Amino acid sequence: MDQKFLVLLALGLLVCLSLPPVCGAQDGLQDVMEEGLEEEMDVEDELDLGLAAGEEEEEMMEGDAQEEAPAEPKTPPIPKVTYKAPEPMGEHFIAESFDRGTLDGWVMSSAKKEEADEDIAKYDGKWVVEEMKDSKLAGDKGLVLKTRAKHHAISAQLLRPFVFDSKPLIIQYEVNFQSGLDCGGAYVKLLTQTPDLDLDQFTDKTPYTIMFGPDKLLNPDNTFEVLVDQTVVNSGSLLSDMTPAVNPAAEIEDPDDQKPEDWDERPKIQDPAAAKPEDWDEDAPAQIADEDAVKPDGWLDDEPEYIGDPEAVKPEDW
């Protein structure tokens, strides 16, 4: 009875640990019963080994469970942003996002640039509408210059001319270099309305009212501001803070000019050749009254000819 119990116990542990075939386990059970007590020691040894192996695997499983790092929290998915083309609002003179993917309403110049080599004189650079390479918004498009080392010129008419009076003109646009800028210039010009203005012949010589760069602001009083990322980095007046001045002086001092050696310092010099006119009246008064003059309405006849300044102070060296 003791022998059978030990054999069944060993078989159960072996099946749980190594999952042997059932038929093999039954054959092993019969062999043990036939061999008698001599095999009992082998069964007990196998039982001890099976128990020891079971304890080691349990300890290893416990150790692995303790060493596992806690799972990191999952990052929520980034919401998808849908691009919507901007719509013009309020009073405006032109609005273009190029999100339609066409150049309808725009005129590409076919003129030639003066004083340039024949192979590069023509404004034949290609213009296309494409999505920005670095943009994450599908459908956000822009006007792209596609031809290297070529002159490009394109223009469009305003809905109506802008008259510079008391209202400021605001021009807003975005610039993104698809492949960087190696050598060249990019300008946005407000063309001057002239009778012979032909957009098909738009060149660098076409008259313009003002030329704009990114984020430049000019006010009606001729003050300006230059902004980078909505921060003012420069400001001043076109009339007093620009060198050279936007409106040059009527006369410019010559730093190398020298007074002639025979210069006459007298402020006035008699003209010895001057002759008195034949109808000169020696008896005429120094001032002649205007017979057609009319006294203004509200004229104060009783007011003194001169009015003293109550805040006037006599100079110390008077």
Q: How confident is the model at residue 193 (pLDDT cuts 50, 70, 90)?
A: confident
AA identity, residue 57: E
Lowest mean pLDDT among 1-10, 111-120, 225-234: 1-10
Q: How confident is the model at residue 254 (pLDDT cuts 50, 70, 90)?
A: very high
- Number of residues assigned to the chain: 318
Output DSSP code: residue 83: P
pLDDT for position 274: 92
Lowest mean pLDDT among 28-32, 232-236, 271-275: 28-32
pLDDT for position 72: 74
35-56 mean pLDDT: 43
pLDDT for position 109: 92
10-26 mean pLDDT: 31
Place of tokens 């098909």: 200
Please say if the pLDDT value at position 122 is more than 70: yes
199-208 mean pLDDT: 90
Please say if the pLDDT value at position 47 is more than 70: no
33-45 mean pLDDT: 42
pLDDT for position 28: 38
pLDDT digits (tens, 9 = 90+) for 75-109: 777 777 788 888 888 889 999 999 988 999 999 99
Helix axes 38-67, 2-18, angle to 10 degrees: 30
DSSP letters for 185-202: ---EEEE---TT--GGG-
CB 113 within 8 A of CB 203: yes
Topology classification of domain 107-214: Jelly Rolls (2.60.120)
Cβ atoms < 10 Å from Cβ of 298: 5
Q: How confident is the model at residue 180 (pLDDT cuts 50, 70, 90)?
A: low
Take residue 250 and report the two structure tokens written for it.
Answer: 């009527």
260-264 mean pLDDT: 91
Q: How confident is the model at residue 8 (pLDDT cuts 50, 70, 90)?
A: very low
| 49 or 292, greater pLDDT | 292
Please say if the pLDDT value at position 228 is more than 50: yes
| 146 or 13, greater pLDDT | 146
pLDDT for position 257: 92
| 277 or 184, greater pLDDT | 277
Q: How confident is the model at residue 66 (pLDDT cuts 50, 70, 90)?
A: low
pLDDT for position 179: 75
DSSP letters for 207-257: -EEEEE-TTEEE-TTSEEEEEETTEEEEEEETTTS-SS-SS--SS---TT-
Largest CA distance in the chain: 172
Q: How confident is the model at residue 282 (pLDDT cuts 50, 70, 90)?
A: confident
pLDDT for position 68: 60
Lowest mean pLDDT among 36-45, 158-167, 297-306: 36-45
